[in-house]
Structure 1
Amino acid sequence: MSLLKFIFSKQFLIQIGIAIVALVIIVFGTLQWLKYTTNHSETITVPNLSKLSLDIVDKKLDEMNLRYTVLDSASFNPEYPPFSVLDQTPLPGKKVKEQRKIYLTVNPSGYAEVEIPDNLIRKTLRQVQPSLLARGFKIGDTIEEPDMAKGAVLELQHKGQILKPGDKLPKTSVVDIVIGDGSLKYGQNTDEAKDLNKNTVNP
């Protein structure tokens, strides 16, 4: 078989086609390997996201080819804006690869609401105060009203409104405590005791 006939033969053309396909695969694989090894050592410095809103975080991390996910919100921190970043993992300054996920803890919109506990009425001031403080309330004024039991808690108030068991207030709300002053005698009504107290104070 002459060289010219062999060049144009079906067998030769098949071999040329196989060689071209193999060359394309080798070139493509080499380019992908070079791309991987070139970026393999590249890292990104994690930015400080503290006190940033999620809108700003989303834009910032997208520009840096980083991702994020929001964990359950923590307790409200008044030193941080609502819905801003409280904490992050990895910490700022850490080196990470592209598309690394940053885990964020976000500040809630405000303090969680807490229920007014029951069984506080007619207890002593020393019993009621720790119970309220343990739930995150602040103790306001102690107001005395005529009652037979001196120091017994008659009612709880918030901004002048009487609180009932089960009522909810934001944590850190101020609760005023009304207690008995021991001036009410048996068979005497509250108004009489108040008048008597006024006359005693202002003869």
Structure 2
Amino acid sequence: MKLVQFFKSKSFLISLAAAIIISIVGVLGLLKWLKVTTNHGQRIEVPNLLKLDTYQAEQTLDQKELRMIVLDTLDYNKNFPPLTVLEQDPMPGSSVKENRKIYVKINAAGYGKVILPELEQLTYRQASATIASMGLKEGTKSYATFIGKDVVLEVHQNGKKLKKGDLVVKNSKIDFVLGDGKAGLSAEQLDVAPDID
């Protein structure tokens, strides 16, 4: 049987028609199944979870058939209650499908602690930049007799002397005792005003 005659045969045409019908029915069935299982066209508005604790946030999402995933606990933000939602993704008011994961970041329970680096014998400028980068604040400055002007001699917090390696709560104040630059100078050298006759 030649190839041309095979393509014209009744058995080939019936097989071809059956294959086309099965393919069309299969594609239509697949599209219908996808529409039903993916809830095509159905949207749920994401609720605002900010400032809710994790239990309240989870309950709110369960009512809307959404899921919560906690990504991280962020540094303490005093504008939000401790252990509450600080950030969420997708944002409130966004439209999502049922069973969508909502990612949240939680506010820490309080300020964390940092390890105090060596600050003694640094200039005040260097020391203040160092503590600012660590999330600490400058407190009071007092002076003691020392040859170096504005050199850090001691570091205190709430009256207690601190040293390298001490744990200090972030956002707290650090007090400095600085050199006045007058050690070893005579009274004549300290009096720098010219004599006026």
TM-score scaled by length of structure 2: 0.70
Residue 129 in structure 1 maps to residue 137 in structure 2: no
Q: Name the SS for the 1:155 alignment partner.
A: strand
What is the rounded CA distance, in whole Å, between the counterparts of 2:44 and 2:149 in structure 1? 68
Distance verdict in 2 for CA 1:178–1:108, change over 3 Å:
same
Aligned CA distance change for structure 1 residues 94 and 145 (closer, same or farther; 3 Å): same
> Structure 1 pair 42/57, CA: closer, same or farther in 2 (3 Å)?
same
Which residue is 2:43 aligned to? 43
TM superposition shift of 1:74? 2.1
1:1-203 equivalences under 5 Å are: 36=36, 39-118=39-118, 120-185=119-184
When residues 40 and 143 of structure 1 are mapped into structure 2, their CA distance, relative to the original with a 3 A threshold, is: same
Amino acid at match of 1:155: E
- Residue 97 of structure 1 deviates from its aligned partner by 1.6
Deviation at 1:149, TM superposition (A): 3.4
Aligned partners of 2:39 and 2:97 also within 8 Å: no
| Deviation of 1:72 (Å) | 1.3
| CA positional deviation for 1:144 | 1.3
Equivalent residue, structure 2, for 1:8 = none
The equivalent of 1:194 in structure 2 is: none
Supply the distance in 1 between the matched residues of 2:145 and 2:176 (Cα, whole angstroms). Answer: 14
For 1:38 and 1:97, locate their aligned partners in 2 and report how far apart those are by CA, in whole Å.
8
- Which stretch has the larger CA shift, 85-94 or 140-149? 140-149
Tell me which protein shows more strand as a share of its residues. Answer: 2
Q: Match of 2:150, as an amino acid?
A: G
Structure 1's unaligned 5+ residue stretches are 1-28, 187-203
Higher helix share: 1
Query: Deviation at 1:173?
Result: 1.0
Q: Distance in 2 between matches of 1:58 and 1:184?
A: 65
Alignment: residue pair count: 154
Q: Please, what is the CA RMSD of the aligned residues?
A: 2.5
Task: Give me the identity figure in percent.
Answer: 42
Change in CA separation of 1:38 and 1:183 when aligned onto 2, cut-off 3 Å: closer
Where 1:73 maps in the other structure, the secondary structure is strand
Letter in 2 for 1:113: K
CA deviation string 1:62-93 (max 9, x = no partner): 11111110001222211111111111111111
Equivalents in 2 of 1:149, 1:40: separation in Å? 74
Secondary structure at 2:129 match in 1: helix
Q: Kindly provide the CA deviation profile for residues 122-156 of structure 1, in whole angstroms up to 9, marking residues without a partner as x.
A: 22212221111121111110011233434321110
Q: Output the amino acid matched with 2:98.
A: E
